[in-house]
């Protein structure tokens, strides 16, 4: 069974040669481990996995499956992968074993991929083995969550209005004047953060908890990221950290995310594992010349705790909406 959409096989001669030599290649010890782990996790055949196969374009991986690849790499001894994006199996192998030449020009700094220790790659449970902080840290290894201030307004305004992200964020394509945008920033919002790269402080996204119903124990979450971060699995690291923060600080039993139908494939593999689809509003949104359904997803406290418990057994690597935000990046 394929991990996502049907596998698109490329019929160039080099692909045939790679597969002809695969039996010898996979006996390369560590590389064999990586291929077997990926094949087993995603129910692929070894023949599907060769150096130039691309996880998203060829295998149809969504954001949650890309996040799983970070965890597989961590299991095999890689560390400091957060913030590093890879596209193909060869890229991932080079990151895991940077001292080896796997036939790729992309070389990795060995310091970025050394044996991992406790808590490497941002243990998303906010637990360091043996102790659980009362307040989850608002950072991963590559990103930090910071309160928005006046200097962040131009970046946040660009997220809300740009052609790449604005149609699926608060104003759904409308362009508000800056003074209205600033006045709306905290309207019906419980908590929000600007997501920054720790390496250079560059802002790459925004996460928001809004429409809180404290009495009944639920709220909604929205997240948006720049195109460079979206879809790689890195955004999920931040979203999960934010969920950890929300469940730790308020007695929510459920967090809702509203997602346009056309974005659902980015996190489809998480259905029944990470979230439940609790509702569907038919032909609720108009975009790209047609109407789309809007899906209502829910992450329960119990399911999130199960994810936390599973993450303590291995280090893991690293949503627009009806009243203003949308679920593009549960991924």
Span 114-149, pLDDT tens digits: 333 323 333 333 333 344 556 677 888 889 999 999
232 and 103 belong to one structural domain: no
**Which tokens is 93 given?**
């192998």
99 and 155 belong to one structural domain: no
CA 316 – CA 176 distance, rounded (Å): 39
Mean pLDDT within 84-108: 63
- Give the whole-number percent of the chain exceeding pLDDT 90: 34
The lowest-confidence range among 66-70, 110-114, 140-144, 182-186 is 110-114
Q: Confirm whether 153 is domain-assigned.
A: yes
CA 314 – CA 301 distance, rounded (Å): 20
**Among 112, 134, 154, residue at a domain's last position:** 112
Q: Which residue has the higher pLDDT, 90 or 324?
A: 90
Q: What's the farthest any 2 CA atoms get from each other in the chain?
A: 64
38 and 178 belong to one structural domain: no
CA 264 – CA 77 distance, rounded (Å): 32
What is the domain extent for residue 256? 143-311
Q: Which residue has the higher pLDDT, 152 or 325?
A: 152
The pLDDT value recorded for residue 152 is: 96
The lowest-confidence range among 97-106, 156-165, 174-183 is 97-106
Q: Confirm whether 92 is domain-assigned.
A: yes
Q: Confirm whether 289 is domain-assigned.
A: yes
Residue 170 has pLDDT above 50, yes or no: yes
- Contact in structure between 82 and 140 (CB atoms under 8 Å): yes
Q: Confirm whether 98 is domain-assigned.
A: yes
Element containing residue 285 per DSSP (H, E) = strand 276-287
CA 125 – CA 223 distance, rounded (Å): 19
**Which tokens is 26 given?**
């996979």
243 and 202 belong to one structural domain: yes
CA 255 – CA 305 distance, rounded (Å): 13
268 and 164 belong to one structural domain: yes
**Which tokens is 58 given?**
């060829």
Burial 158-185 (b: 16+ CB within 10 A, else e): ebbbeeebbbbbbebeeeeeeeebeeeb
Q: Which residue has the higher pLDDT, 77 or 61?
A: 61
CA 287 – CA 247 distance, rounded (Å): 33
Q: Confirm whether 118 is domain-assigned.
A: no
Helical packing angle, 63-75 and 30-42, nearest 10°: 140
Mean pLDDT within 190-209: 95
- Contact in structure between 236 and 64 (CB atoms under 8 Å): yes
195 and 101 belong to one structural domain: no
Q: How confident is the model at residue 63 (pLDDT cuts 50, 70, 90)?
A: low
The pLDDT value recorded for residue 82 is: 59
147 and 267 belong to one structural domain: yes
The CATH number assigned to the domain holding 167 equals 3.40.630.30
- Contact in structure between 104 and 94 (CB atoms under 8 Å): yes
Element containing residue 286 per DSSP (H, E) = strand 276-287
The lowest-confidence range among 25-29, 192-196, 230-234, 308-312 is 25-29
pLDDT tens, 218-266?
A: 999 999 999 888 766 778 889 999 999 999 999 999 999 998 888 888 7
């Amino acid at each position: 069974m394929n991990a996502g959409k049907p596998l698109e096989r490329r019929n160039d001669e080099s692909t045939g040669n790679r597969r002809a030599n695969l039996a010898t290649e996979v006996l390369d010890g560590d590389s064999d481990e990586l291929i077997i782990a990926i094949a087993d996790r995603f129910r692929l055949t070894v023949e599907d996995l060769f150096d130039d196969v691309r996880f998203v374009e060829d295998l149809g991986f969504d954001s949650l499956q890309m996040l799983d690849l970070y965890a597989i790499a961590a299991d095999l001894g890689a560390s400091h992968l957060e913030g590093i994006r890879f596209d193909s199996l060869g890229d991932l192998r080079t990151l895991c074993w940077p001292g080896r030449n796997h036939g790729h020009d992309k070389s990795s700094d060995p310091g970025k991929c050394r044996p991992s220790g406790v808590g490497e790659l941002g243990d998303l449970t906010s637990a360091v083995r043996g102790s659980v902080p009362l307040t989850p840290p608002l950072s991963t290894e590559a990103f930090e969550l910071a309160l928005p201030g006046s200097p962040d307004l131009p970046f946040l305004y660009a997220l809300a209005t740009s052609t790449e992200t604005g149609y699926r964020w608060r104003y759904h394509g409308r362009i508000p004047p800056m003074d209205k945008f600033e006045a709306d920033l905290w309207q019906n919002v419980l908590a929000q953060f600007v997501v920054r790269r720790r390496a250079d402080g560059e802002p790459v996204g925004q996460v928001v908890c809004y429409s809180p119903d404290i009495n009944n124990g639920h709220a909604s979450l929205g997240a948006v990221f720049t195109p460079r971060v979206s879809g790689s699995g890195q955004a999920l690291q931040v979203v999960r950290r934010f969920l950890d923060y929300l469940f730790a600080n308020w007695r929510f039993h459920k967090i809702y995310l509203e997602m346009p139908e056309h974005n659902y494939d980015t996190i489809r593999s998480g259905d029944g594992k990470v979230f439940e689809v609790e509702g569907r509003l038919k032909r609720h949104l108009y975009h790209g010349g047609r109407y789309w359904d809007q899906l209502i997803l829910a992450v329960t406290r119990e399911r999130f705790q199960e994810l936390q418990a599973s993450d303590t057994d291995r280090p893991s690597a690293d949503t627009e909406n009806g009243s203003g935000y949308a679920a593009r990046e549960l991924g």
